[in-house]
Amino acid sequence: MTDYTLAIDNLVVERGSRRIVDGLSLSLAPGEIYALLGGNGAGKSTTLFAILGFLPVSSGTLTVCGHSPAASPDAVRASVAYLPENVALYDHLTARENVDYFLKVADCTRSRADIEQAFASVSLAEAAWDQRAGRFSKGMRQKTAIALALLRNTPLLLLDEPTSGLDPAAAADFHGLLEALSARGVSILMVTHDLLGAADTADRIGLIAGGRIANEWRAQASGPRFDLNTLHDGFAGVK
Amino acid sequence: MNRSLIIAAAELRLILRSRLALVGVVTLLLLSAIAAVTSAVQMAETAQARAQAQIETDEQFKAQPNRHPHRMVHYGTYALRPVGPLAAFDPGVDSFTGTVVFLEGHRQNSATFGAARESSDLLRFGQLTPAFVLQTLAPLLLIFLGFATIARERERGSLRALAAHGASARSILGGKAMALGVVALLALAPALVALGWAALRQPHEGGIALLIALAYAGYLAAWVLGIVAVSGIARTSQGALIALIAAWALIVVLVPRAAAGIAGVADPLPSRVDTELAIAADLRRIGDSHNPDDPHFAAFKAETLKKYGVTRTEDLPFNYRGYMAQEGERITSQLFKDYAARADAIRARQSGWLGWAGVLSPALSVRDASMVGAATDLMTHTAFMNAAEAYRFDLVQRLNGLQATAVSGADDAARSKDPLADRRTRISADFWKTMPEFEFNAPSPAARVTVMVPSLLLLGLWIALAFGVLGLAARRMERHGA
């Protein structure tokens, strides 16, 4: 169990009287990319919030690197980098100041050179490093946030609709970055509507419906990674 | 570094980089500094003017020519309330109660020359003093600077980002409160300088100046904690702003006005006219010293004649007119004291009502503590009026005594018909120089501290309440994943 970066077993999360996640189980090995697909209200984002400890777990087990969010929220958050759909940067701070601020909050010490290297590795234009984030496009915000995740060097990365609003080139760059992170051993759980993007990057794709994994596909070692028709049919079938 | 400190530093950087927030902070600082300087200059001028006027009025009294002592009783003199060293910080009721009392025989006059009565109606809306800025304007500007401190982050999603980076709700709330606290301290700084300056000039006031500073620090701390808590609880910035403005209007404007109104209705103070009519009626009932057939004074005369074993007032070893004037003044003064004591009791009960209203409004508590500490409250005014009355009574009785001992009864009786007798009743002007001068010392710092205690305790209660609401905000943020 503890070999997994993320281990979820029979998870139930309720919001008020509504059961949003209902018996969800999944696990991520180090370096694995898992794409969680599903319709609106299927429980994707709720699962991410439960992992982060933002929502209490009603029943089942959930651990990140062996820590439960309820019992050890600090340990869990130290192990997770989270990119929301709309990356929340401070508009009055520059990219460098934003990253520096969040790193300080996360109690991570990184040098100026480390930060610049991270920016370079996510292809954030040098001119943007000391520009206030208020002028950034969505892609630049994503890159800044990914740079932050790289700098935090956490074993688990949670992504909520990471490519929505990105142009195809930026989305392709982004997937390249994820593969690089995966190669470094970072486990990635990605919540998305982007079937093609998921098929391009993920090692496994899970289809969530009614708060649980309704179907799951594993990437093929040879040939096309996934049968897109099967994925499409599966996705259309539960929508 | 502590997470709260990191968040506080970021919040301060936001204030520095936001033009609107910066304008707010600078406005607050300017208002506070201008209030401290103008109030200090104004009160220094007032203090000097009153001290000078007291000297001049004393000199005029002593410079009177040879006169009949009873003429001097009616000539009278003035008592001016001196300005304390901390009045520049908080003039309190000084502008409304009057500062000068005309002291004469047979009458107890009200204080006159209150600044609010002498100047335009605008003064009634509040002078720009450090106390007014801190009690009324500082909370409002803190609201404008802080209402969105957390609600804005919630709306933008950065609150969850902070939480995802390990910042707990408590550290976020703590950091935001620290940043707003720095702004509050900036607002407090000019006032602290003004208080420190006053304490340097009058070292015995140093302790109480510090206590006033602590009371204001506590008051602003309660606002800072409350603002951050509401911002943490509200779903939107707009909701937080509406809630906080409503709280400001209630705490700073409505409750103090309503409490004063309710206290006035529940325990009304008779008007000056009603009181004077009642005193006149009582005087008629007790006796008229100018009426030879008055039963009280007829009895008094009979008793005096019997005491000295004579049958006519002309045979008494003193001037009976002066002796009777002393008795008349004793009676009227006792009446004045009784009525004043009744009015003081009503005012004390009204102050009690207002004190308890501090449970509903920390603005009332800090205002009370501030005025008491600065010796500009109603208690100090009452002490001044009592001192003025005691001085008036003593002065008039000394003059009546001179009439009884230094003026012959025969000359006194004949002076309206005989110019020579009239001249002989005019005693030496040297007597006026022996009369004591009016002096008033405000209640001691120790006495004022004792009176301040309930207000300070209520402020402590408000700070505790604000911490409680902050705790609720923390729990709510944790429950909803920030």
Mean pLDDT value of segment B371-396: 90
Which of these, B232, B248, B53, B235, lies nearest to B143 by C-alpha position? B248
The pLDDT value recorded for residue B372 is 93
Name residue B256's amino acid: P
- Using CB atoms, which residue from A88, A106, A107 is nearest to B156? A88
Mean pLDDT value of segment B427-432: 86
Which chain A residues are closer than 8 Å to B160 by Cβ? 54, 82, 84, 88
* CA angle (B22 as vertex; B16, B28 as ends), nearest 5: 130
CA distance A207 to chain B (A): 25
Q: How many CA atoms lie within 13 A of B135 on its CB side?
A: 28
CA distance B165 to chain A (A): 5
On the question of pLDDT at B222 being above 80, the answer is: yes
With CB atoms and an 8 Å threshold, state whether A88 touches B164.
no
The pLDDT value recorded for residue B142 is 95
The pLDDT value recorded for residue B115 is 54
With CB atoms and an 8 Å threshold, state whether B14 touches A92.
yes
Mean pLDDT of all residues in chain A? 89
Which chain B residues are closer than 8 Å to A53 by Cβ? 481
The pLDDT value recorded for residue B121 is 47
pLDDT tier, B237 (very low <50, low <70, confident <90, very high otherwise): very high
Q: How many Å separate Cα B170 from the centre of its chain?
A: 41
Which chain B residues are closer than 8 Å to A88 by Cβ? 156-158, 160-161
Spatial separation of the C-alpha atoms in residues A32 and A52, rounded to whole Å: 19
On the question of pLDDT at B69 being above 50, the answer is: yes
The pLDDT value recorded for residue B113 is 60
Give the residue from A58, A99, A102, A144 with the most B CB atoms within 10 Å of its CB, the best one to mutate: A102
Spatial separation of the C-alpha atoms in residues A168 and B42, rounded to whole Å: 71
pLDDT tier, B1 (very low <50, low <70, confident <90, very high otherwise): low
ipTM here: 0.87
The pLDDT value recorded for residue B122 is 44
Q: Using CA coordinates, name the residue in chain A closest to B477.
A: A54
pLDDT tier, A103 (very low <50, low <70, confident <90, very high otherwise): very high
Residues in contact with B244: Cβ distance below 8 Å, sequence separation at least 6, in sequence order: B143, B147, B226, B227, B230
Highest average pLDDT, of A111-120, A169-178, B84-93, comes from A111-120
Mean pLDDT value of segment B223-248: 96
Q: Is B481 on the interface with A (CB under 8 A)?
A: yes
Mean pLDDT value of segment B115-129: 55
Which chain A residues are closer than 8 Å to B169 by Cβ? none
Q: Which residue has the higher pLDDT, A172 or A61?
A: A61
Mean pLDDT value of segment A162-181: 81
> Chain A residues with CB-CB distance to B under 8 A?
49, 52-55, 73-74, 77-78, 80-82, 84, 86, 88-90, 92-93, 101-102, 104-107
Spatial separation of the C-alpha atoms in residues A73 and B78, rounded to whole Å: 74
Spatial separation of the C-alpha atoms in residues A123 and A120, rounded to whole Å: 5
The pLDDT value recorded for residue B482 is 61
Q: Is B14 on the interface with A (CB under 8 A)?
A: yes
The pLDDT value recorded for residue B481 is 66
- Through-space distance between the first and last CA atoms of chain A, rounded to whole angstroms: 32
Spatial separation of the C-alpha atoms in residues B448 and B439, rounded to whole Å: 19
Which of these, B76, B118, B126, B77, lies nearest to B98 by C-alpha position? B118
Mean pLDDT value of segment B60-72: 88
Place of tokens 């409505």: B254
Q: Using CA coordinates, name the residue in chain A closest to B154.
A: A88
Tell me what percent of the residues of chain B surpass a pLDDT of 70.
95
Q: Which residue has the higher pLDDT, B239 or B284?
A: B239
Q: What is the largest CA-CA distance in chain B?
A: 106
CA distance A73 to chain B (A): 8
Q: Where are the alpha helices (DSSP H) in B202-288?
A: 206-233, 237-248, 255-266, 272-286
CA dihedral B408, B413, B418, B422 (to 10 degrees): 50
Mean pLDDT of all residues in chain B? 87
pLDDT tier, A40 (very low <50, low <70, confident <90, very high otherwise): confident
The pLDDT value recorded for residue A230 is 83
The pLDDT value recorded for residue A1 is 45
Give the residue from A105, A132, A156 with the most B CB atoms within 10 Å of its CB, the best one to mutate: A105
pLDDT tier, B120 (very low <50, low <70, confident <90, very high otherwise): very low
Give the residue from B149, B165, B168, B170 with the most A CB atoms within 10 Å of its CB, the best one to mutate: B165
Which residues are bridge partners to A80 per DSSP? Answer: A156
Q: Which residue has the higher pLDDT, A32 or A210?
A: A32
Q: How many CB atoms lie within 10 A of CB A181?
A: 21
On the question of pLDDT at A65 being above 80, the answer is: yes
pLDDT tier, A190 (very low <50, low <70, confident <90, very high otherwise): very high
Which of these, A34, A57, A32, A33, lies nearest to A47 by C-alpha position? A57
Mean pLDDT value of segment A169-186: 86
Highest average pLDDT, of A179-188, A221-230, B280-289, B338-347, comes from A179-188
DSSP string, chain A: -TTSSEEEEEEEEEETTEEEEEEEEEEE-TT-EEEEEE-TTSSHHHHHHHHHTSS---EEEEEETTB-TTT-HHHHHHHEEEE-SS----TTSBHHHHHHHHHHHTT----HHHHHHHHHHTT--HHHHTSBGGG--HHHHHHHHHHHHHHHT-SEEEEESTTTT--HHHHHHHHHHHHHHHHTT-EEEEEES-HHHHHHH-SEEEEEETTEEEEEEE--SSSSSS-HHHHHHHHHHH-
Spatial separation of the C-alpha atoms in residues A49 and A56, rounded to whole Å: 9
The pLDDT value recorded for residue B350 is 86
Q: Is B148 on the interface with A (CB under 8 A)?
A: no
Spatial separation of the C-alpha atoms in residues B13 and B22, rounded to whole Å: 10
Q: What is the pTM of this model?
A: 0.85
The pLDDT value recorded for residue B125 is 46
Q: Which residue has the higher pLDDT, B90 or B464?
A: B464
On the question of pLDDT at B124 being above 60, the answer is: no
- Range 152-191 of B in CB contact (< 8 A) with A: 156-158, 160-168
pLDDT, one tens digit per residue, over B184-198 is: 999 888 888 888 888
On the question of pLDDT at A142 being above 70, the answer is: yes
Burial (CB < 10 A; 0-12, 13-18, 19+), residue A141, is buried
On the question of pLDDT at B403 being above 50, the answer is: yes
pLDDT tier, B226 (very low <50, low <70, confident <90, very high otherwise): very high
On the question of pLDDT at A217 being above 50, the answer is: yes
On the question of pLDDT at B244 being above 90, the answer is: yes
